[in-house]
Structure 1
Amino acid sequence: MSTGSGADSAPAPTTHDSQPTHDSQPAHDVRPTPDTRSKAPTAPREPEAARSSRTSMFRSLRIRNYRLFFLGQVVSNIGTWMQRIAQDWLVLSLTGSSTAVGVTTALQFLPMLLFGLYGGVLVDRLPKRPTLLGTQSAMAVTGLGLAALTLSGQVEVWHVYVAAFAVGLATVLDNPARQSFVSEMVGPEQLQNAVSLNSANFQSARLVGPAVAGVLITGVGTGWAFLLNGLSFVAPIAGLLLMRKRELHVVERAPRGKGQLREGLRYVAGRPELIWTIVLVGFIGTFGFNFPVFLTAFADDVFASGAGEYSLFNTLMAVGSVAGALLAARRGTSRLRVLIGAALAFGAVEVAAAVSPSLWLFALLMAPIGMFGMTVNVTANTSIQMTTDPAMRGRVMSLYMMVFLGGTPVGAPIVGWVTDAYGPRVGLAAGGLVSLAAAAVVGLVLTRAGGLRLSVGWHHGHPKVRFVPRAAGDRLATATR
């Protein structure tokens, strides 16, 4: 695939897939021009059933392998959210420090920062399904070990630190492998829908996991949440084992060789729509997505409440996140203007939440924060996957995940220190302002790179503000409109 400007808005290539398709969606909804359409006046119209199939919100679930993967992840994701809530609350109860919660979060994502790019190189070389079987098994063992320590009354904060770091090590391979494996299960024509449903799956589990964790923490203790999380990995492992290998869209694996890490970095650096998207999610992930630090501090210090309210904050945020993911699944395209707009809205609502005077107003604002945050996540993820060559996808996605998740070890302790030193409201407001500034700067950079200008006018009696290309034919400009 070309890496020059001519490929900026091209669809995800299918030349490496075993079953090429002819109706895959372009990466940024670049529709054919009138001249192109006029060359085939006799082409039959697409049947209504086919059009509705392509726009169905749950169309990827018709594929058996993906359905097994999806159902397994439902169970595992509930356990993951239970452990996240229990882990944060356990650290806070052992230390009484928001900084300690930030350190725990940082340790969980530190391996991605240190080894994420190398993980992507390995994922491009390895078969995805066996890799996922190994990583899911490793995370199950970690959860069961932490459960044994907690239930026996021997747990100390350094045990939680070690467990968080161990999960992070497994994530170095698990995240890019899972991201890349989606295209092998569904093929390029269903990629956006499947990625969006994955996000909806993860966030739907957030509706159940925190609620169950809150009941367990207040009723029988955090150890049972860790135990159930460890057992929940049986479901995705079983789903992977039951898949039909012959139905996978197998992608040619990258051969072992020198310079593959540099090759991946050059690939991203030469494409503005990739590099600037990664820069944006890096700033937002580092400073705006530190919810374990923010929400524990607001529940404990600002509103003098407990684990129940902390669980409520996470649940309401999950409601918004599910809505954002399902709306992304409904959309047939992934546009950079949606990404910039959602990032701006995310930062603005975080600032509003930081100054909210009451617990209930703060809680209600968790829903739009979740919705806009998920829109940023899904739009960036699908945009990057759909414009990346399959043979490079592991390396590109590992860079994306390294920046998005690996920035947490940098941001979490900083945000935790600001929260301890100046108060939770200042910490949350700072995260929102950084997100706002990053979205504005990246939006301006992409506007200039795409040769766009701001157009203000009227449409059917209503004001209409949009970006339009300065010169015709600029494909990146078309992608960002």
Structure 2
Amino acid sequence: MIFRVLKLKDFRNYFIADIVSGFGVGMSTIGANWYLMDKTGSISAVGLMLSLNVIAGFLISTFAGTFIDKWNRKTIILWANIVRAAALLLILGGFLWTGFRVEYVYAFAILNGMGWALYITASRSLLQEMLPENELIHGNSLIEISLQVGMFSAGALSGVLYKYVGFETILLLNAIAFIASSLFLGKIRFTPVHAENREESYLHNFKDGIRYLADRPFLFLLGVISIIPLVSTMIFNVVLPGYVSRAVNGDSVVFGLSDMFYGVGGLISGFIAAPLARKLSQNGTIVLLFAVAVLNLAAVSFNKTIVLLYIGSVLIGLTNSSLRVLMTTALMESVSKSYMGRATSVWMAISLLLQTFAATGLGTLIDAYTPGAGFICMSGLMFVGLVLYFALNSRRADKVTLEA
């Protein structure tokens, strides 16, 4: 049933484009994490790099949603891909000309953060625009599959490529991936939603988007809870290099495979999230996934073996990705298409702000104590998500009962 949405030609092209760009981003992101730690020996430097990544994304998110709701979303993504490919080639040229310089890695992090925040906001708004409401959960499931196929393929290859051909080749492949993704996006033909606010000023549209969420506190809080798995994933990226190196005594190949197994879990989530929600109910499934995530992350924090790291990574990918599928679908079903870009950018900005503090703080914490402390923090964060979601839905149930 999940694959029937691929019969839609436009979605099929979108799906392939998403896999290709996800592969490129995943490969370069994973490679950059290990590259910086390899050259500097400091997890704090990795934390700073990820802080720059999320700060750049935060700055873009504060205004990107307004433009995305105002202009053609496909065109925005195409131009963003072109600019990202060109910038990556410039950074590659810098490495080839002068050798390793930490400034180039930080420039890559800034570019990656800006591009990813813009892409997530625009692409998910485009998906909502393209698909009928009854296909949203299947579309989101397949997009999670596409993301994880790209990511775990990247995880499997990045460690090997880094070891044998270097980070410079990875950057080149990322630029090529953006160009290839644009070719598939260019084939999409559909009638965009008419932007009723196109003639209004940027400031008016921005305020209108904020007012839309302010008038809907339940929707706003649901969106905030939906970003918790995303923040947890970012923390995983900060924790993993030091955890592999110190806790399980692994190398770049183990690091890449650990990230690959996270992607395997994410891939599985694309197939089971929708059927599980139908069987247990959407709310029950979300509560269950948060609970499993809390227990798994707490267990991984005390692990010392590579095999158990791989198993834990699968479960982390499975729970985080399934939560994203279900909660993103719930938001798409609830948010007006004309406001989706602005609403998503608000939640992305909050997510990136949280990630900024987490990346810097965790890098310092892990350097001072143990990489397992990062997984304990992730477990605590997912526990907060569990409590907030349970409380939010209990209040809604009480409200419905009173109204009845």
SS of structure 2 residue aligned to 1:398? helix
RMSD, aligned CA: 2.2
Counterparts of 1:248 and 1:351, CA distance in 2: 47
Displacement of 1:377: 1.3
Give per-residue Cα distances to partners, 1:214-252, cap 9 Å, x unaligned: 1111111111111111111122211122222xx335343
Partner of residue 245, structure 2: 300
Give per-residue Cα distances to partners, 1:144-201, cap 9 Å, x unaligned: 2233333445231111111211232233432211111112333333222212211110
Displacement of 1:363: 1.8
What code does the residue aligned with 2:49 have? T
What code does the residue aligned with 1:421 have? A
Asked if 1:321 corresponds to 2:262, the answer is no
Displacement of 1:331: 6.3
Asked if 1:223 corresponds to 2:151, the answer is no
Q: 1:396 to 1:132 in 2, by over 3 A?
A: same
Counterparts of 1:183 and 1:232, CA distance in 2: 24
Counterparts of 1:190 and 1:211, CA distance in 2: 31
Counterparts of 2:140 and 2:197, CA distance in 1: 23
Partner of residue 320, structure 2: 373
TM-score, reference length from structure 2: 0.92
Counterparts of 1:213 and 1:284, CA distance in 2: 24
Q: 1:207 to 1:167 in 2, by over 3 A?
A: closer
Identity rate of aligned residues, in percent? 22
TM-score, reference length from structure 1: 0.78
Counterparts of 1:432 and 1:353, CA distance in 2: 10
Asked if 1:157 corresponds to 2:102, the answer is yes
Counterparts of 2:229 and 2:315, CA distance in 1: 16
Partner of residue 64, structure 2: 119
Displacement of 1:330: 4.7
Give per-residue Cα distances to partners, 1:3-26, cap 9 Å, x unaligned: xxxxxxxxxxxxxxxxxxxxxxxx
Partner of residue 85, structure 1: 30
2:10 is aligned, of 61, 65, 73, to: 65
Give per-residue Cα distances to partners, 1:62-91, cap 9 Å, x unaligned: 111111121122222212111011110111
1:435 is aligned, of 382, 388, 391, to: 382
Asked if 1:202 corresponds to 2:124, the answer is no
What code does the residue aligned with 1:113 have? F
Q: 1:253 to 1:221 in 2, by over 3 A?
A: farther
1:76 is aligned, of 17, 21, 26, to: 21
Check whether the contact 1:135–1:171 (CA below 8 A) recurs between aligned residues: no
Displacement of 1:282: 4.1
How do 1:13-412 and structure 2 match up within 5 A? Answer: 56-152=1-97, 154-244=99-189, 247-255=190-198, 256-257=200-201, 258-286=203-231, 289-330=234-275, 335-412=282-359
Counterparts of 2:254 and 2:226, CA distance in 1: 28
Displacement of 1:420: 1.1
In the alignment of these two chains, the number of paired residues is: 400
Counterparts of 1:243 and 1:159, CA distance in 2: 35
SS of structure 1 residue aligned to 2:2? coil
Moved over 6 A (4+): 331-334
Q: 1:128 to 1:287 in 2, by over 3 A?
A: closer
Q: 1:267 to 1:241 in 2, by over 3 A?
A: same
Counterparts of 2:394 and 2:191, CA distance in 1: 39
2:365 is aligned, of 407, 418, 437, to: 418
Check whether the contact 2:250–2:306 (CA below 8 A) recurs between aligned residues: no
Counterparts of 2:70 and 2:174, CA distance in 1: 30
Displacement of 1:472: 7.0
Listed as ranges, the gaps of 5+ residues in structure 2 are none
Counterparts of 1:253 and 1:118, CA distance in 2: 18
Q: 1:410 to 1:286 in 2, by over 3 A?
A: farther
Counterparts of 1:344 and 1:204, CA distance in 2: 25
- The answer to which of 403-412 and 247-256 deviates more is 247-256
Give per-residue Cα distances to partners, 1:241-299, cap 9 Å, x unaligned: 2222xx33534353323433233223223334422222323444445641221110111
SS of structure 2 residue aligned to 1:162? helix
User: Which structure has greater helix proportion?
Assistant: 2
Displacement of 1:300: 0.9
Check whether the contact 1:57–1:193 (CA below 8 A) recurs between aligned residues: yes
